Amino acid sequence: MPGLEDLYREIILDHYRTPRNRGELDPPAVKIDGHNPLCGDEITVYLAVDGTGDDAVVTDIKIGGQGCSISQSSASMMTKAVIGKQVGEINAVMRRFKSMMGIDNIELEEADSEVDLGELEALQGVVKFPVRIKCAVLSWNTLANAIAASAASAADDA
């Protein structure tokens, strides 16, 4: 059995103990809830996006809700990875991250291999604990919904 040290890397625990970008954003930022029906974890992603399409920029992101060390640290690291980035770049990070999590229906694009996951690499050990993969990707799936909701509301305004 893989050891707990593979799962609970120091950087993960640091993000768990001191989560980055906790809080809320006022509209027009979108607010999307995500649930892990298995364990009851709940996450809220507040996302402020400027522009439209793949060039749109995430100008701010905040995280609310409760969850385990893996879901909370993954969300915290995610905020650092996406803030100030373009939607197109974020989608690439998302594909690489989910691919690292062993989610096999992800179609990587050619340029994705150059994406640097940075400290998100620390979550690689989660793959050895399959029941925890859902914890690690909860915030990312919620972010994907938030990006879609932002695009929809931008389209409505146009």
Partner 1 sequence: MFDLDAVRSQFPLLADRTIDDSRVVYLDSGNTSQKPRRVIDAMTSFMETSYAPINRSSYRLAGEATEAYEAGRTAIARLINAPSADEVVFTKNASEAMNLVAMAWGRANLEAGDVVVLTEMEHHANIVPWQMLAQERGIEIRWVGLTADGQLDLSNLDELLSDAKVFAFTAMSNVLGTIPPTKKLCAAAHAAGALAVVDACQFVPHNVTDVQDWDADLVAFSSHKMCGPTGIGMLWGKMEILEAMPPFMGGGNMIDTVTFDGFTTAPVPAKFEPGTPAIVEAVGLAAAVEFLEDIGMANIRQHEMSLTRYALDTLNARFGDDITIYGPDNVEVRGGIFSFEFRDLHPHDVSQVLDEKNVCVRAGHHCAKPLMQTLGVNATTRASVYLYNDEADIDALADGLDGASDIFGF
Which residues of the shown chain bind partner 1 in the complex (CB under 8 A)?
1, 3-4, 7-8, 13, 16-17, 38-42, 66-72, 129, 132, 135
Residue 15, amino acid: H
| Nearest approach, Cβ of residue 38 and partner 1 (Å) | 6
Minimum CB distance to partner 1 smaller for 42 or for 112: 42
Q: How far apart are CA 61 and CA 24, in angstroms?
A: 8
Least Å distance, CB 14 to partner 1, is: 10
Nearer to partner 1, 3 or 27 (CB): 3
In whole angstroms, the minimum distance from the beta carbon of 20 to partner 1 comes to 18
Rg of the chain, C-alpha, whole Å: 15
CA distance 72 to 108: 26
Please identify, using beta-carbon distances, which residue of 71 and 150 lies nearer to partner 1: 71
- Considering the complex, state which of residue 13 and residue 148 has its C-beta at the smaller distance from partner 1: 13
> Minimum CB separation from partner 1 for residue 74, in Å?
12
8 to 38, 47, 128, 152: CA distances (angstroms): 21, 28, 12, 37
**Which among 58, 66, 63 has a CA at the least distance from the CA of 23?**
63
